[in-house]
Amino acid sequence: MPLSLHAWLFAILLAAGAAPAATHDARQLVPLPDPMQRHMLANMRDHLSALNDIIHHLAQGRLDEAADTAENRLGMSSLPRHGARHMAAHMPEGMRRIGTRMHHAASRFARMAQEGDRDAAYRALADITAACVACHGAYRVR
Ligand code: HEC
Residues whose CB falls within 8 Å of the CB of residue 93, separated by 6 or more in sequence, listed in order = none
pLDDT value for 19: 47
Is the C-beta atom of 45 inside 6 A of ligand 1?
yes
Distances 125 to 18, 66, 114, 131 between C-alpha atoms, Å: 34, 11, 13, 10
Neighbour tally for 128: CB within 10 Å: 24
How high is the mean pLDDT of the chain? Answer: 89
Task: Give me ligand 1 centre to Cα 129, in Å.
Answer: 11
pLDDT value for 123: 98
From CA 122, how far away is CA 112, in angstroms rounded?
A: 9
Is the C-beta atom of 70 inside 6 A of ligand 1?
no
pLDDT value for 12: 46
Task: Give me ligand 1 centre to Cα 2, in Å.
Answer: 48
Alpha-carbon dihedral sign for residues 18, 23, 29, 32: positive
From CA 87, how far away is CA 96, in angstroms rounded?
A: 9
- For 40-51, letters b (16+ CB in 10 Å) and e give beebeeebeebb
Is the C-beta atom of 142 inside 6 A of ligand 1?
yes
Is the C-beta atom of 27 inside 6 A of ligand 1?
no
Is the C-beta atom of 48 inside 6 A of ligand 1?
yes
pLDDT in tens, 78-120: 999 888 888 999 999 999 999 999 999 999 999 999 999 999 9
